[in-house]
Structure 1
Amino acid sequence: MRRSESSAQAATADSGTAPTQVERAAATPRRHTRTLQIIALVVLLGSSCVLSLCIGAKPIPLDAVWNALVAPTGIEDDMIVRELRAPRTAIGALVGAALGLAGALTQGHTRNPIADPGILGITHGAGLAIVLATYALEITSLHSFIWFGFAGAALGAVTVFAVGSAGRGGPTPLTLVLAGAAISALLQAITFAVVLLDQRSLDAFRFWKVGSIAVAGFPLVLQVLPFLVIGLALGLAGASGLNALVLGDDVARSLGHHVQGVRVLGILAITILVGASVAVCGPIGFVGLIVPHVVRVFTGPDHRWLLPFSALAGAVLVLLADTVGRVVARPGEIEVGVMLALIGAPFFIVLVRRRKLVRL
């Protein structure tokens, strides 16, 4: 009897269900490596912010940028940095982090490696709300667009979740994706019908659809900041539960996780992050699709590392794309939404051809 018990314990250790001393020792270097990688991403993000502040239609030296931030004298360079580039850099970093994190959450909750945040009806809900606000209420202020866009995004996500939850099984990755595709098509059709009736609505929708982080002043940044901070906190808090969901609902329940609660928390975080982002900047594509795939090369499927890495990498990608857009068409510029499409589409094709997409 003792021999069989010891054999069972050895088999359990060999099968990997209990961590061995070798596995514990191997985990420490991996943790140190990922910590160094996060530090490198933070440094890269800081460098991207500096480039965003210095580069534009008028190049500004680094010392002049520093003086404009800490000791402004009212000259032209000070106004450019403080009123144009600093808010643009701040919103670019925030929106990039939000979309990168939302993309990783969307792919995890839907278990779909080619899913992006727009698949849940959030983007099209925001677009329809902005068009209706222009058409019915004659609203043209960007500050007001934020509230209507966020409300439309929330309504689209709630509708998708309600439709995907109908039935005895509740919301599942498959029903959420199918409901999102159907609701998104409906919202997009209504939007096109409205813009064809009114030129002003068409102009507002066309401006919003391009995707831009060129905001005017910090008041707009402060208006959207609380939503983005809350969304980032909720998204990062759900990493452990999302790891369990990837193993299957039954396994997640056996590990003590409330499956529906984890899913609701994830959808809520995605809604807040994407709703706030698209409301202020428009539907900036490819960030939530590409970033998680690139990050998984370094972190693997563990969402405790994947989510913060995706947030940092998303911020870096948006800032660098926006900076390149200011250089290639100087003295004009190409909006960040267009630049990300130009960069992201070929990159994603190469990614698909070189390696198989991760199964989620």
Structure 2
Amino acid sequence: MSVLQTTQTPLPDAAPLRRPAAVRLTWLLVGIAVLAALCVASIAFGARDVSFDDVLAGLAGRTGDVSQAAVVARLPRTVLALLVGAALAMAGTAMQAVTRNPLADPGILGISGGAALAVVIGIAFFGMSGPYAFIVAAVAGAAVAAVFVYAVGSLGRGGATPLKLALAGAAATAAFMSLVSAILLPRADIAEMFRFWQIGGVGGATWDRIVVVAPVLAVGAIVCLAWARGMNSLALGDDVAAGLGEHVFRTRLVAFAGAVVLAGAATAIAGPIAFVGLIVPHMCRLLVGTDHRWLLPFSAIAGAALLVAADIVGRVIARPEEIEVGIITALIGAPFFIWIVRRQKVREL
């Protein structure tokens, strides 16, 4: 059995494949407007609130006072939240499509944990320091973790059911993060550097890091978007997709590779942030249907909005300190995960 062969459990939400173009376009424009408003709020709110005039002055590059300087400092943080949120949401959407598993998500399936472990091993034992090395290690770790979790989840009767994959992913994530802690604890210098990175956050964003990771995320996004039509065919079942002329294995392999690149690179730059790839695709299907040519870009917008909103909440509710976005998304995502399991009644063990 191929590591990318999937359970036949259908995705939730019986939304039709096609929605009226006017409806989809309306929701897309609404999503863009909400995202733009959240970006302005992300720049304006934090440990120190700034006025709208200061926001405009900061966007123009002026740093004449503390408020304007704060705006300039928050810009890379906001952009990184946009990129990481969009990447994780698209990765989750693609994983749910190619595995036909409603519980698929980079965090739940252990992919983010595998990427984190690979980065820490590279730093601790191989002296890895360059940002490109971080991304390569994270993507490789994500790929190995994906294969490992699927292999474990496929054991026993029934193959890789959604719940077995989720349990295998949760166990693998716990093991990966335990290994990360075991490696970091005796190394105070590395442990301090990655103390917040382990939780998952965008607080250390810089333009240099964004310039490095943006092209990699763009490649992963382009791969997923290019295979959106193939994902629609997979939703009809392997036999029907093959009958329509779709190369099922190739479609799964390439689309899953794009998702792994997105998840690995996002983890390398922002740490393991869970549940974005689970929450967003399900919510977006309710609005724009299951056509992945619309669902993928809409998921990217919604994922970016979710992570920017989580970052704003983390900064506002704990002033003058802040709560990392990984904690906020976990608080939102854990109840949603339980709801999905109960709604789908995925009880096979």
TM-score range, shorter chain: 0.7 to 0.9
Rounded Cα–Cα distance in structure 1 between residues aligned with 2:315 and 2:97: 34
Out of 62, 76, 89, the residue aligned to residue 66 of structure 2 is 76
Matched, 1:329 2:318: yes
What letter corresponds to residue 220 of structure 1 in structure 2? R
Rounded Cα–Cα distance in structure 2 between residues aligned with 1:278 and 1:30: 36
Matched, 1:157 2:143: yes
What letter corresponds to residue 110 of structure 1 in structure 2? T
Is the Cα contact below 8 Å between 1:327 and 1:333 reproduced in 2? yes
Deviation at 1:256, TM superposition (A): 1.3
- Relative to the length of structure 2, the TM-score reads 0.81
Rounded Cα–Cα distance in structure 2 between residues aligned with 1:216 and 1:184: 25
Out of 319, 329, 335, the residue aligned to residue 340 of structure 1 is 329
2:22 maps to: 32
Q: 1:186 to 1:341 in 2, by over 3 A?
A: closer
**Pairwise CA RMSD:** 3.3
Rounded Cα–Cα distance in structure 1 between residues aligned with 2:126 and 2:19: 59
Out of 113, 116, 120, the residue aligned to residue 105 of structure 2 is 116
Is the Cα contact below 8 Å between 2:119 and 2:137 reproduced in 1? no
Q: How many residues align?
A: 324
Q: 1:162 to 1:333 in 2, by over 3 A?
A: closer
Deviation at 1:88, TM superposition (A): 0.5
Q: Which runs of 5+ in 1 are unaligned?
A: 1-25
Rounded Cα–Cα distance in structure 2 between residues aligned with 1:29 and 1:254: 25
Is the Cα contact below 8 Å between 2:314 and 2:323 reproduced in 1? yes
Q: 1:52 to 1:135 in 2, by over 3 A?
A: same
Matched, 1:313 2:302: yes
Matches within 5 A, 1:45-124: 45-82=35-72, 84-119=73-108, 121-124=110-113
Rounded Cα–Cα distance in structure 2 between residues aligned with 1:242 and 1:263: 8
Matched, 1:42 2:55: no
Out of 160, 185, 197, the residue aligned to residue 208 of structure 1 is 197
Deviates more, 1:37-46 or 1:151-160: 151-160
- Relative to the length of structure 1, the TM-score reads 0.79
Deviation at 1:260, TM superposition (A): 1.7
Q: Which structure is richer in relative contact order (CA contacts within 8 A, separation 6 or more)?
A: 2
Matches within 5 A, 1:220-259: 220-259=209-248
Q: 1:156 to 1:51 in 2, by over 3 A?
A: closer
Is the Cα contact below 8 Å between 1:120 and 1:157 reproduced in 2? no
What letter corresponds to residue 314 of structure 2 in structure 1? G
Q: Cα deviation per residue 1:92-128 (whole Å; 9 max; x = unaligned)?
A: 1111111111111111112111121135543122212
Deviation at 1:191, TM superposition (A): 3.3
Out of 253, 256, 261, the residue aligned to residue 272 of structure 1 is 261
Q: Cα deviation per residue 1:314-354 (whole Å; 9 max; x = unaligned)?
A: 0111111111111111111111111122233345556666x
Rounded Cα–Cα distance in structure 1 between residues aligned with 2:111 and 2:18: 40
Deviation at 1:29, TM superposition (A): 7.6
1:261 maps to: 250
Q: Cα deviation per residue 1:185-217 (whole Å; 9 max; x = unaligned)?
A: 764564354335544444444322111111343
2:280 maps to: 291
What letter corresponds to residue 295 of structure 1 in structure 2? C
* Structure with more of its chain in helix, by fraction: 1
Q: 1:349 to 1:121 in 2, by over 3 A?
A: closer
Is the Cα contact below 8 Å between 2:229 and 2:292 reproduced in 1? yes
Is the Cα contact below 8 Å between 1:194 and 1:201 reproduced in 2? no
> Secondary structure of 1:283's partner?
coil
Deviation at 1:218, TM superposition (A): 1.0
Q: Which runs of 5+ in 2 are unaligned?
A: 1-15
Is the Cα contact below 8 Å between 1:135 and 1:200 reproduced in 2? no
Identity %: 43
Deviates more, 1:308-317 or 1:122-131: 122-131
Deviates more, 1:326-335 or 1:129-138: 129-138
Deviates more, 1:193-202 or 1:271-280: 193-202
Deviation at 1:28, TM superposition (A): 9.6
> Secondary structure of 2:197's partner?
helix
Rounded Cα–Cα distance in structure 1 between residues aligned with 2:327 and 2:337: 15
Q: Cα deviation per residue 1:125-173 (whole Å; 9 max; x = unaligned)?
A: 221222223322456x6xx3563254233244156449969x9xxxx97
Rounded Cα–Cα distance in structure 2 between residues aligned with 1:27 and 1:283: 32
